[in-house]
Amino acid sequence: MNFYSCFDKQGKIIARCQTIQDIEVLKKMGRPIVEVKEMKNEESVVCSLTGSPSDFNMDY
């Protein structure tokens, strides 16, 4: 399973998503996503252990 980190134009992380479709929904909601990076396996393990990456998105 792939997880993605989304960044604004200042390079600050603003969301973590599980699918590209989640990212598209956030963009349609107006989130200023400028860059998307696939998380490394060791980073994504933390997401899967602590809950859904969408839990990080407070307005999703």
Q: Where are the domains of the chain?
A: 1-44
Enumerate residue ranges in the chain where pLDDT < 50.
48-50, 60
Give me the pLDDT at residue 49, please. 47
DSSP-derived pairing of the beta strands 13-17 and 35-38:
unpaired
Q: Is the pTM higher than 0.85?
A: no
Dist. CA 44–CA 13, nearest whole Å: 15
DSSP the chain: ---EEEE-TTS-EEEEESSHHHHHHHHHTT----EEEEPPHHHHHHHHHHS-GGGG-TT-
